[in-house]
Amino acid sequence: VTAVLWDELHTDARHRLRYPSEHVVRFLAGLRPGGNGLDVGCGMGRHLRLLEEQGFVAHGVDASLEAVAFCRDLAPVGGVCRASMTALPYPAGLFDVAVAYGVFYYGSRWDGERAVSELWRVLRPGGSAFVCVRSDRDWRVHGVQEGEPEHGMELHFMSEGDVVLAYRDFGSVRFELAETTTRGRARTNSDWLVTVTK
Ligand SMILES: C[S@@+](CC[C@H](N)C(=O)[O-])C[C@H]1O[C@@H](n2cnc3c(N)ncnc32)[C@H](O)[C@@H]1O
């Protein structure tokens, strides 16, 4: 269901994010360039382009056909696959770096856990990843109304303890909370910014 709803959102240019997240820019700038980079849930490819600019061979995966078709036109050297974050179509240890920005909270808690274990599997030892997921302080915890972009999608939200537990297999884990408000501070967008090294 989520992939089909995302197909619809991706066809609407209003939802198309063109510029990379500043957090991802900073994360990649701190790494030694070179090797394979993966964008899990690559959407319209803004971080695929950034991975390439930063000197990585960019690979993308997304559940949405629209996203995959759009990103294939960007022709990242590593290619783009239609697949789920819960079953990544890559061998263990292929990637030096991975990004999953605004993706792992779609679906059930189990999907999120599975996505983290797939991330761990496809990273090489010493490889790093940046993940942005919604915290349980986010306004959407109370439900997304009809007419809002994520209405009808299954979402789950993470507490601080959930983050610690989910990433426990990584050698190093750092995370921060990023919050912004909208609608005259009536709504708080709240994200965990998680940086891990295997
Ligand atoms: C909020 S968009 C973020 C896109 C991109 N990461 C970015 O930062 O621009 C979420 C993306 O996750 C994808 N997605 C949702 N569930 C997924 C899943 N189970 N496996 C892979 N991709 C998924 C959607 O199709 C959509 O492209």
Is the distance from the beta carbon of residue 88 to the nearest atom of ligand 1 less than 6 Å? no
Q: To which H or E segment does residue 5 belong?
A: helix 2-11
Report which of 138, 140, 167 is spatially closest to residue 151, judged by C-alpha positions: 140
Nearest CA owner, ligand 1 atom 1: 102
Is the distance from the beta carbon of residue 101 to the nearest atom of ligand 1 less than 6 Å? yes
| Centre of ligand 1 from the C-alpha of residue 93, in Å | 22
* pTM of this structure: 0.96
Digitized pLDDT (tens) for each residue of the chain, 198 residues in all: 788 888 888 888 777 888 999 999 999 999 999 999 999 999 999 999 999 999 999 999 999 999 999 999 999 999 999 999 999 999 999 999 999 999 999 999 999 999 999 999 999 999 999 999 999 999 999 999 998 888 998 999 999 999 999 999 999 999 999 999 999 999 999 999 999 999
Q: Which two tokens stand for residue 133?
A: 């997921």
